[in-house]
Each structure stands twice: as structure tokens, then as C-alpha cells.
Amino acid sequence: MSTTAGTAVRAQEKEETDRSGDLGGGIPRWVLVIAVVVAWVALWSVFRGQDTLVLRGRDSTPLHDDLTGFRDAVLASRDTNPVIGLTTAIAEGFRNVFDFLQRLVSVPAFPRPVPQVGWLGVTALAAWVALAVANWRISLLVTGTFLAYGLLGFWSDSIDLLLVTGLAVFVTVLIGMPLAVAVGTSRRAKAVITPVLDAMQTMPTFVYLIPVVLFFGIGVSGAVVCTLVYALPPLIRIGGYGISAVSTTTIEATDSTGQTSWQRLLKVQLPMARKTIIVGLNQTTMAALSMAIIASYVNGPGLGKPVLQGLIRNDVGSSLVPGLLIVLTAIMLDRTTTAASERADLAARGHGLTGRTRQVLLAVVAVVALVCVYLSRTVLDLAEFPETGWGTSLANGLDSFVGSVVGALDGPGEVFKNAVTYGLLNPMQSLLAESPWWLAALAIALVAAALGGLRALLPAVVCLAGIWFFDLWNDAMVTLNMVLVATILVMLIAIVFGVWMARSHRVDVTLRPLLDAGQTIPAFVYLIPVLALFGSTRFTAIVAALVYAAPAAIKLVADGVKAVPETTLEASRSTGTTSWQEITQVQLPMARGSLVLAANQGLLYVLAMVVIGGLVGAGALGYDVVLGFSRSEEWGKGAAAGLTIVLLGIMLDRIGQRAAARTGEGVKVPLRRPSSAVAG
């Protein structure tokens, strides 16, 4: 390495050390972590198997029984408890609105044997809306997507999915925009709201179902509420950021004209933050759609039901077809909202149809759409999509294709599975789960202190105390092990592909759209092919989490490596360094902040798959949550498991954020960036 390049890296390291306030008196953090792990292994060899707090099978503790008793008391007080009365009324309102919309466009509106508006009218109206808010290309995409719903035999389920998503997004906007305004205009409101959003985004989606079902019941009301809770944080975060990012110069200029704060908000801040707010709406819509399959666990309508039924039967083909329609829907909504956010700017620069030409085109298409609506109300064949059998044929073809792929990958897949299981999974689980609880807690706290200092140590201690309190310590350690193993694999993949993308423009252009598309796919869809390959095991959950988390981590690593100054690279090349030396001695060291941030986000993405993994043999906390959800007598244990997952997530998030901040890259990245618009 050249003197200039080496000096740059050493200067960065010195600056980070000075800023970080290491508890080890300037000792590098990786040395402290290794020292803690070595001491931990030494003590583990002495105390192994003692005080591990194992809770066998379906055993429960008095705390779990008390939580179940709380659930029973809430249910018994439905007629007298005002809170239950309110949530019941809200649930009934959601059901009534959804039933009206469903009879309007997706199911027979008795005594009519078909909906009020048939498939032709719905497709034509959707195409016109896409043309009005975006452009003709998006209109064609929407038309093709709606035709795919019918041709593949899932018209009603697909429209129901759009209705639930639309209803949840509508309510999200009603609740989220006032909160986004508060976050964007008030530091005090931001300080109060942000920790709540952190907890909501750290909490795995399945955990929402336990309290939602208790207060809102199952069916469409439960589906809308759990979707609403999951989709709310992105709109508040991104919308609030857009409002707060309006330049102070502009705000001061409006103040000089005597405008009130309300006028300033309506006439200046919201219009200038419009594009950012629409980006927030984009991510909120993607988040709502990603709940499609999970909502089916509370009898939510939509495409999640056939996906879930196929998974239960282990029928890969029949679950992949609706899964692909969910992906197609995600792409359609992502591209539509993205194009809508860009249309005004493009029109201002003279791109696309504008002015009278656009108005005439919209009017003509509106007339055609109204004619299609009329025909769909009067002609039976244009109201109910005809059976084609294409869905069954595609399912059979996909089943055969997946079977062939599984057969071809069976040998290498088994080798990879054994290598990860015996090389990482089993040893780490033995250390975490077979250590006395006090030893594991002490070691984790010391690792947190080494990586993130006191500001990581304090939340780690609080979260560890909470995990111990909820009486599922051993299951928490098993879950933590799977999360850490999956994150290690994510980072290995992220470093390889991220560096490759950063060093090759052609690779970046090729892979980035694939990564963007990967982030639009709901988490459950990843489970289908992985389940076919590895069966129902904990390794299946790890691989599914790995695939789900990799796109975000790869892009973060690529962007971090790409940000290394070109002058530094040229200085190192002038001394004759090889490509390997340039990567390992210059680019990766100078991109350490991005690497830590990628690891943090990888952890959170992996943690989001914990409960889903519990459905396919992962066990531990994921299984406890599913058990508590499916069996009323286990509700308390499931609730404790859900809270334990939340505490694990908060602890890992805080450690990762503080570690990233101490390497100069402490930027908060919202959990689950599902769309290219946001990732860009």
C-alpha cells in the first residue's frame, strides 16, 4: 500500500478511536470482542449445561399463565370494557367498508350473480387511474397485471388483496400524515414519536397478530389493523424527513410575509416535500402489501390464503402461482407510485404528454373506461372472468421445474447445509444456549460495550433483563444464534457482491435492478422454493432469511465501497498494489462504517423472519409465537415470546447503530426497504 493510502486509512482509524471513547482505553474493538469471546468459551467449558433456563416443549411458567389469564379477562369483559367496545366498533366499521367494496368489484352482490362492476370495468378504471397519475407505460403495466389476475384464476383473491392494501394505506395516511407533520415541524414531537417507530419497525410482523386478534378479532378487521401497524412507520419517517428538509431560507422568506404556521405548512412545506411524501407513500404501500400472506393467518382475505394453503400441503406449484401474482402486484404498485412522484418534474421539463394533448387523451380513455364499466354490468361474460386453466398449467409446470432444480441442487445443497450446521450453527448454539444464563448475559453485555460503548451497553442490559424476566431465556439464545449465523452469511455474500458491484459499473447496472426487485418481494414468498429444497428444518428458516436480507446489505456495502475517494485508490495503484490488496487494505477498511451498517440492517431483516421460520421447523421463539397464536391455552407463552423477540431486536439494533455511529456512519436506515424508489 502506498504511503498516501496508508496514511489516509490510519488517519481515519485515529479519528474514529478519538471519537468513539473506547472503554478499553484505545484498544481496538475487535481485540476486545475476541478477548470477551475467549473468556466466555473458557468459562463455558467449566459451567456448560448449568442454569440454562430450558423450558421443555409446551411447558409454561406462572408468568405465562398470568398473561393467558389477562387475555381471558379481556375477552370476558367485552360487554363492559370501553376499550374493547371501541376496538370492536372499529373492527365492525372495517368489515362493513370492506364488504361494500368487495360486493362492488370482487364477489357476487346478491341477488346479482356477479359483482356490481365486473372484471372488464375494474381493469379499465384501473388503467385510466394509472394513466392519470403516471403515464401510458404504467397504464399498460396495470392492465397486464389485472389481466394476469384473471387468466391465472385468482381474480377475486387478487382484488381482495388490493382492497385490503388500499383500505390499510388510506387509514395509514389519515393517521400518519398528521404525525409526519408533527415529526417534521417539532423536535419535541420527533423525540417522542421516533422511539415508538423504532420499536414498531424492530418488531417482527407476526408478533403484531397476538394483540391484534385479541382486540380486533380475525378476518378483514384483523388483517387491516396488523397491516396498518406495520405500514405506518415508513410514511411518518419519510414524510417527516421531507417536511423538515425544506430549506430554512425558504421558511424565513415566508415568515417575512406574515404567514401563519398553518399557511406555511399548507403553502410551502407540504408542496415542497410532495415528492418525498409520495416516496414515503410508496414504501408504506409496499409494507402493507408485504403483510398479504401473514394476514391470512388471521383469516385475512387476499392472495395470502392460496399461498398459505399451498405451503401447508407442501405443494410448491400451487403456492408459487399466487406468490408470483403478489410479486407482480408489488412491482405494479411500486412502479405506479414511483412514476406518480416523478410525473410533475418530468412534465415541467417537457417530457411525456402535457397540456391539452394529455387532457384529451385522459378524456377519451375515461369514456372508454365508462363504456367498459357499463358493459361489465350488463354482459355476464364481461363481469366474471372466464376459466382458462392457465393457472393450473403454470402451477404444474413450476412444480416440475422446481422438482428438477431441487434434484440438481440436492447434493451441493446438502454439503452447504452440513458445512453451515456443523461449522457455525451447532458450535454457536452450544455456546449461547448451553452457557449459564448469567454467563451468556454478561458476555453479551461486554460485547455490546466493546462494540458500541456505554450507549450500547445500557439498552443491552435492560433488554437482557427483560428477556430473563419473560422466562424464555434458552429459546431466546437459540433464536439469537440463528439470527447471528444468518447475518454472518448475509455479510459474506454482501461483501463479495458489494465489492464486485463497486468495482464494476457493468455489474452494478446488472445487479442493482435485481436487488431492487428482490426488495419488493414479500418475505413469505422466499420461503416457498427454499422449503422445497431443504424441507422443514431450522436451516430452511436461515436460508430464507439469508435471501430476504441479502439485497439491502449488498447495496449498502456497494455504496460504501464506491464512496472511497478515487484519489486514495489512485495513490495505492501507483505503488503497484494488486486488486486483492486494494480491496482488503484500502476499500474495505475505509468503508467499515457501511459494513457495520449493513450488518445492522442484515440483523434486523433476519430477525423479521424469525417467526416465519418457526413455521418451518426453526423452533425456539418463532415456534412459541405460532403456538400461542394457534392454541388459546398457550396465548401467554406466545405473548411472552413475542415480547422477547422485540427485546432481542431492540438490543441488536442499538448495538448495531452505536457500532455504526462510532465508525462514522451512524445513519438510521428504516427496517425493510422494499422498493427501488426508497433504496435509490
pLDDT at 42: 93
pLDDT at 627: 78
Query: Cα separations (Å) of 172 from 186, 265, 282, 303, 580?
Result: 20, 20, 12, 21, 49
Find out whether 517 and 334 touch, Cβ atoms under 8 Å.
no
In angstroms, the CA 107 to CA 109 distance is 6
pLDDT at 628: 79
> How buried is 312 (Cβ within 10 angstroms: 0-12 exposed, 13-18 middle, 19+ buried)?
exposed
Query: CA 396, 399, 400, 401: dihedral to nearest 10 degrees?
Result: 120
pLDDT at 669: 40
Q: Under 8 Å CB-to-CB from 537, ≥6 apart: which residues?
A: 616, 617, 618
Stretches in the chain below the pLDDT threshold 70: 1-26, 201-207, 255, 257-258, 292-293, 344-355, 517, 519-524, 526, 610-618, 662-680
Find out whether 289 and 165 touch, Cβ atoms under 8 Å.
yes
- The cell for 8 is 489516509
Instruction: Tell me the per-residue pLDDT of 151-160, one tens digit each, with 9 for 90 and over.
Output: 998 999 999 9
Determine the residue type at 559.
Answer: D
pLDDT at 318: 81
Number of other residues whose CB lies within 10 A of the CB of residue 422: 10
Phi and psi of 50, rounded to 5°?
Answer: -95, 140
Find out whether 238 and 276 touch, Cβ atoms under 8 Å.
yes
What b/e readout covers 94-126, taking b as 16+ CB neighbours within 10 angstroms? Answer: beebbeebbbebbbebeeeebbbbbbbbbbbbb
Find out whether 638 and 625 touch, Cβ atoms under 8 Å.
yes
pLDDT at 665: 42
Domains 3-67+426-679 and 81-108+158-302 share a fold: yes
**Among 281, 278, 246, 275, CA closest to 346:** 275
Q: Identify the DSSP state of 298.
A: G
CATH code of 3-67+426-679, in short, is 1.10.3720.10
Residue spans per domain, the chain: 3-67+426-679, 81-108+158-302, 117-154+306-388
pLDDT at 353: 62
pLDDT at 4: 44
In angstroms, the CA 628 to CA 635 distance is 4
pLDDT at 595: 82
In angstroms, the CA 426 to CA 434 distance is 11
pLDDT at 386: 83
**Among 522, 115, 108, 613, CA closest to 304:** 522
Please state which CATH class domain 81-108+158-302 belongs to. Answer: mainly alpha
This prediction has a pTM of: 0.74
pLDDT at 120: 92
Task: Compute the half-sphere exposure of residue 193: CA atoms within 13 Å on the CB side of its CA.
Answer: 22
